[in-house]
Amino acid sequence: MMMNEYQLETIKRRLSTIKKDSPFYGKKFADVDLSEVVDQEGFEKLPFTDKADLRDCYPLGLAAVPEKDIVRIHSSSGTTGTPVIIPYTQNDIDDWSIMFERCYRMAGLTEYDRIQITPGYGLWTAGIGFQSGSERLGAMTLPMGPGNTEKQIQFMTDFHSTALCATSSYALLLSEEIKKRGIKDKLALRKGIIGSERWGDKMRNRIASDLGVKLYDIYGLTEIYGPGIGISCDYANGIHLWDDYIYFEIVDPKTGKNLPDGEVGELVITTLLKEGAPLIRYRTHDLTRIIPGNCPCGSRFPRIDIITGRTDDMVKVKGVNMFPAQFEEVLSETDGPESEYQVMIDHLDGKDILTLYFETMVPDSEWEELEKEVQERFKAKVGATIKPKAVNMGDLPRSEKKTSRIFDNRY
Ligand code: ZN
């Protein structure tokens, strides 16, 4: 996607003082002459910023303003212990709520709505982001926080909440409870704003119908404001991102090279206006693609696809990038395979071979045909030829923990 003039000018202005403002970028760009970044091509040569870099900045090493200008911190938990701390100025907080208000408006909400917020509050950005956006919109805000399903349902009923903000898993839990009690008719819910975890169409449709709402995917990450930097629209065909606050790119996670629109890769974000902790070319590790063309909703904001996975799960075989969601999709679209699968990648006689083991209950006399069908569907969808192998139910290892189903034996 082309960087527009506003983005280029804003980035150039940001870069002109970033070494002086931010000790972190002073060090990172020590050997880079930022005045040479005059166009998109030059920008794409700048080194990436990764989460590990931010962790090394603990506690306040990311700050790019004097301490007196920091009004709040948020933190994203890492898997490795040391938290990442993001300092915010008042302008950052305001910008975040402006973006969040836009999200609500994109979902058709107004000051007449009553917004029930179930994501968590605290160092984590979720709850408070949903709240400040709702207040800025002028809606009645119910800052419930997570859990206590009994009270959630009571407030939802008594206060006629019209919108529910939740993670997909909590929305599912609430929808099941509401269905069980048969109280859907007592509710005034019409919209669900769902934090963008990875979730399948089956789950989405179930929540939508059990709650009687239209669902919207909201996107964001704590390092870049928090949730609210983009949301899907009525057409549910991708997530519009607010590209006047962030500049985004899709790169090949293995090579770091920018990819053409439409190709799946890693989402990389640059903040345009953030003061407290500006980030240049931040690797989100989220896999998605830019959706080319205009959205029928008429919004001028560009779209990315629903997040399809994390870069850590991706493998490259025969020059084609593949990730778990694609295997899951093909198996679930085909009659016969069950949900358990395992992928083995080997290098034999100078060639990469990808074997997709899947469990099935159909008699083994039909396996050959089933394997062929999976192979054809995968080829049509992803563009690579794989070797599907049917196995009996229970033949693949089970694990309590979320373990990788992809085993790369090439290296
Ligand atoms: Zn749209």
E strands along 200-276, which residues?
214-221, 226-232, 239-241, 246-251, 265-271
203 CA → ligand 1 middle, Å: 22
What pTM does this model have? 0.86
CA dist 71 and 287 (Å) reads 32
What is the distance, to the nearest Å, from the Cα of residue 189 to the centroid of all Cα atoms in its chain? 25
Ranges of residues in the chain whose predicted pLDDT is under 50: none
133 CA → ligand 1 middle, Å: 20
247 CA → ligand 1 middle, Å: 18
- Residue 403, pLDDT score: 54
Q: Quick: pLDDT tens for 136-182.
A: 999 999 999 999 999 999 999 999 999 999 998 899 899 999 999 99
21 CA → ligand 1 middle, Å: 37
155 CA → ligand 1 middle, Å: 31
Which domains are seen in the chain, by residue range?
A: 90-310 (3.40.50.12780), 314-408 (3.30.300.30)
294 CA → ligand 1 middle, Å: 8
182 CA → ligand 1 middle, Å: 33
- Residue 192, pLDDT score: 98
CA dist 85 and 313 (Å) reads 26
160 CA → ligand 1 middle, Å: 28
- Residue 322, pLDDT score: 87
11 CA → ligand 1 middle, Å: 26
106 CA → ligand 1 middle, Å: 8
Query: Contacts for 148-153 with beta carbons within 8 Å, 24 or more apart?
Result: 149/173, 149/174, 149/177, 152/116, 152/118, 153/177, 153/178, 153/181, 153/183
- Residue 324, pLDDT score: 82
Q: What are 32's two structure tokens?
A: 């880079």
On whether the CB atoms of residues 272 and 11 are closer than 8 A, the answer is yes
305 CA → ligand 1 middle, Å: 12
What is the distance, to the nearest Å, from the Cα of residue 8 to the centroid of all Cα atoms in its chain? 25
236 CA → ligand 1 middle, Å: 7
381 CA → ligand 1 middle, Å: 24
- Residue 79, pLDDT score: 58
- Residue 137, pLDDT score: 98
CA dist 191 and 205 (Å) reads 13
296 CA → ligand 1 middle, Å: 6
